[in-house]
């Protein structure tokens, strides 16, 4: 393993392994890791379950290349695909697999994407405004910053960054780019800082954090993809199969909560005397609300601090 892979610490690995274990124990079980990244979770699960097969999906070709090296010891138990995670059904069909026994989604930006300055995800480096998880796609953060109207930028920053000064930041961006395009992460971070009131800048960490999150979500269509992914992935779970989702901000967690709750609820009309068989829940929730990392894990791995874990088991076919 390279230095990056060796240093990578998978978030909430022990709890995810515990939640997925009953579904992955059978010989020939299939795990779909829809956000493979550096394959930390998947490598541990393959090692723990000698009969397990992995379908690893990632939109980032660099991540796939690194994961391929890391997972080489598991040989033909591993199948990798360059795809977005809402394409899980298509990927499974391509490998001739009907059902998965486990699905894992570790959402958000990966450690290598944050750590590689040239990817433009982090405000702590000066780099081109890129933020593409899949570098084969056309639209970059620079296209959004320099091409969206003030109203469109305000919507993105407000809805995806939950930024209360969205309009101020958007108008500052439009004024600045009128003189010259905004091309670097450092210049954007400076603009955001200048646009936010001084009293606010003194608390809450780097003031550019919410703007960078919002632009990343917009560039990669993360929330729209997640909305499509959850029902599609759950639809390919075998009976007794389990799904685990790690979210890193409230928008992702809200979508996950809503999707799992909808499928774990009896929808029989309340005025009927008996439950309708076709309105019974498809899922059984395995977590009470969203589970959080332990204090010990947060101290060991600061990137775990914002993680929220939800999981469910498939108990009925559609």
Indicate the annotated binding residues for S-adenosyl-L-methionine: 39-41, 58, 85, 106, 113
Whole-angstrom Cα Rg for the chain: 21
CA dist., res. 24 & res. 19, Å (int): 10
Binding site feature residues: 39-41, 58, 85, 106, 113
Contact predicate 20/313, CB 8 Å: no
Contact predicate 100/236, CB 8 Å: yes
Q: 81 has which bridge partners? A: 57
Q: 309 has which bridge partners? A: 246, 291
Q: Is 220 exposed, middle or buried (0-12, 13-18, 19+ CB in 10 A)?
A: buried
Contact predicate 173/149, CB 8 Å: no
CA dist., res. 129 & res. 122, Å (int): 9
SS (H, E, C) 245-312: EEECCHHHHHHHHHHHHHHCCCCCCCCCCCCCHHHCCCEEECCCCCECCCHHHHHHCHHHCCCEEEEE
């Amino acid at each position: 393993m390279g230095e990056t892979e060796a240093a990578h610490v998978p978030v909430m690995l022990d709890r995810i392994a515990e939640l997925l274990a009953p579904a992955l124990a059978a010989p020939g079980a299939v795990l779909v890791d829809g956000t493979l990244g550096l394959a930390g979770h998947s490598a541990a699960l393959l090692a723990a379950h000698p009969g397990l097969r992995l379908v690893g999906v990632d939109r980032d070709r660099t991540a796939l290349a690194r994961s391929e090296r890391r997972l080489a010891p598991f040989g033909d138990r591993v199948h990798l695909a360059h795809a977005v995670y809402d394409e899980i059904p298509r990927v499974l069909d391509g490998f001739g697999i009907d059902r998965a026994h486990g699905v894992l989604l570790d959402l958000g930006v990966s450690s290598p994407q944050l750590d590689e300055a040239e990817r433009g995800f982090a405000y702590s480096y000066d780099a081109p405004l890129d933020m593409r998880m899949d570098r084969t796609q056309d639209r970059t953060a620079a296209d959004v910053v320099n091409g969206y109207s003030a109203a469109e930028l305000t919507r993105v920053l407000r809805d995806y960054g939950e930024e209360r000064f969205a309009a101020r930041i958007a108008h500052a961006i439009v004024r600045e780019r009128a003189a010259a395009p905004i091309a670097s992460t450092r210049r954007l971070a400076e603009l955001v800082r200048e646009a936010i009131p001084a009293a606010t800048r003194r608390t809450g960490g780097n003031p550019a954090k919410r703007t960078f999150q919002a632009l990343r979500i917009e560039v990669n269509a993360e929330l729209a993809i997640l909305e499509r992914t959850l029902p599609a992935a759950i639809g390919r779970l075998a009976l007794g199969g389990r799904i685990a989702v790690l979210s890193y901000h409230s928008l992702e967690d809200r979508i996950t909560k809503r999707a799992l709750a909808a499928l774990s609820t009896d929808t029989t009309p309340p005025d009927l005397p008996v439950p309708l068989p076709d309105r019974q829940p498809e899922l059984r929730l395995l977590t009470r609300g969203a589970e959080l990392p332990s204090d010990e894990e947060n101290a060991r791995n600061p990137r775990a601090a914002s993680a929220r874990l939800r999981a469910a088991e498939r108990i009925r076919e559609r």
